[in-house]
Amino acid sequence: MCGICGAVSFSPPPVAADTLRAMCAAQRHRGPDDEGVWTAPLGAPGESRGWVGLGHRRLAVIDPAPRSRQPLGNEDGSLRLVCNGEIYNHRELRRELESRGHRFRSGSDCEVILHLYEEEGPAAASRLHGMFAFGLWDGKRRRLWLCRDRLGIKPLVYAGDGTRLLFASEIPALLASGLVPRALDRRALALYLAFNYIPAPATAFLGIRKLEPAGSLILEEGGRIATKRWWRLAPEPEAAPDNVDLRLRLRRALEEAVSGCLLADVPVGAFLSGGLDSGIVVGLMSRLAGRPVPTFTIAYPEDPAWDESGAARRLARFFGCAHHEIPLRRRDLLEAALAVLEGSEEPFADSSAIPTWIVSRAAARHVKVVLSGDGGDELFAGYRSYLAACWRSRYRRIPAGLRGGLIRPLLARLPDGRGTRVGEMLRRAKKFVRAAEEDELAGLLALKEVIPASLRRRLVPSGPEPEDPALAWVRGLWERHPADPVNRMLATDLYDSLPGDMLAKVDRMSMAHALEVRVPLLDHRVVELAFAIPGPAKMRRGVPKSLLRETFRDLLPPGHARRPKAGFEVPLGRLLRDGLAPLVAQTLDLRRVREQGLLDPAAVGEILALHRRGKTDSDWMVWNLLVLQSWMERHGRG
Integer-rounded Cα Rg, in Å, for the chain is 25
Would you say 3 and 30 are in contact if contact means Cβ atoms under 8 Å apart?
yes
Counting every residue written for the chain, the total comes to 638
Round to whole Å and give the CA distance between 274 and 208.
38
Sign of CA dihedral 251, 522, 503, 537: negative
Sign of CA dihedral 252, 256, 262, 265: positive
Phi, psi (degrees; rounded to nearest 5) at 460: -130, 85
Would you say 532 and 238 are in contact if contact means Cβ atoms under 8 Å apart?
yes
Would you say 584 and 576 are in contact if contact means Cβ atoms under 8 Å apart?
yes
Round to whole Å and give the CA distance between 188 and 348.
12
Round to whole Å and give the CA distance between 523 and 528.
9
Instruction: Give me the active site residues, please.
Output: 2
CA distances from 277 to 10, 96, 313, 501 (A): 48, 34, 15, 18
Round to whole Å and give the CA distance between 634 and 42.
38
Round to whole Å and give the CA distance between 387 and 375.
17
CA distances from 160 to 10, 199, 207, 225, 310 (A): 12, 19, 7, 9, 50
Would you say 192 and 347 are in contact if contact means Cβ atoms under 8 Å apart?
yes
Kindly state the helix (H) or strand (E) to which residue 303 belongs, with its residue range. Answer: none
Maximum Cα–Cα distance across the chain: 82
Sign of CA dihedral 513, 518, 519, 525: positive
Instruction: Using alpha carbons, select from 299, 234, 276 the residue that is nearest to residue 549.
Output: 276
Supply angle C-alpha 631, 633, 635, rounded to 5: 60
